[in-house]
Amino acid sequence: MRVMVLVKATVDSEAGTMPSVELMEAMGRYNQELAASGVLLGGEGLKPSSQGKRVAFHGPERTVSDGPFLPPRELVAGFWLWEVKDMADAVEWIRRCPNPMLGLSEIEIRPLYEMEDFGDNVPQELCEQEEILRRARAFPKSRIAVFRPKPSFPRKRESRRPDSGFRRNDGLTLERPWRRATGG
């Protein structure tokens, strides 16, 4: 089961108070332990909400608000994404976590929805699209990729140019989005 672990903000984290060297070292050791066990899928600390924006949706309208946002205890200061056996396993990992803040702090654990949670209400095309995105996330950061099904109609064989992406045997095209975005 995958869970999002949310480190709640505090007045200190919202003020931009940086953690001590000792806390950073302790968190580094904890993160290494998470990674070595295969639990850690990702995670980051967030800058204070004063450096963020919120976008409110009301039908077709969008309203953008500048931070800071209140109250701090309702905000997120950082997160992890974990793969655990169950919620009890996640709680055990949290019990071993160093206190992420200078004083009183709180961590929230929330399970992620998986495609199976939606039952038969999801069209097959969406299930396939989700699988393609999961495969793309499996690549290391230095090789971020987007998979796109090849068209089913016959096409002339293309030569592989440096900016054309990589052709695969399984009917998928591996593109390099940074090339596409810059046009080069």
Residue with tokens 């953008």: 64
- Predicted local distance difference test score (pLDDT) of residue 152: 52
Show me where the domains of the chain are located.
Answer: 2-52+62-111, 119-182
Predicted pLDDT of residue 146: 45
Tens of pLDDT, residue by residue over 102-120, are 889 999 999 999 888 888 8
Please identify every stretch of the chain with a pLDDT value under 50, giving residue numbers as ranges. 142-148, 158-169, 175-184
At residue 135, the pLDDT reads: 75
Q: What confidence score (pLDDT) does residue 32 get?
A: 96
**φ, ψ for residue 90 (rounded to 5)?**
-60, -40
Q: What's residue 154's pLDDT?
A: 53
Tell me the DSSP string of the chain.
-EEEEEEE--HHHHTTPPPPHHHHHHHHHHHHHHHHHT-EEEEEE---GGG-EEEEEETTEEEEEESP-S-GGGSEEEEEEEE-SSHHHHHHHHHTSPPSSSSS--EEEEEPP-GGGGGGGS-HHHHHHHHHHHHHHTS-GGG--EEEEPPSS--PPPP--TTS-EE-TTSEEEE-HHHHHHT-
- C-alpha dihedral sign at 113, 74, 17, 48: positive
pLDDT for 167: 47
The C-alpha atoms of residue 175 and residue 164 are separated, in whole angstroms, by 7
Tell the CATH topology of 2-52+62-111: Alpha-Beta Plaits (3.30.70)
Question: Which pLDDT does position 139 carry in this prediction?
Answer: 59
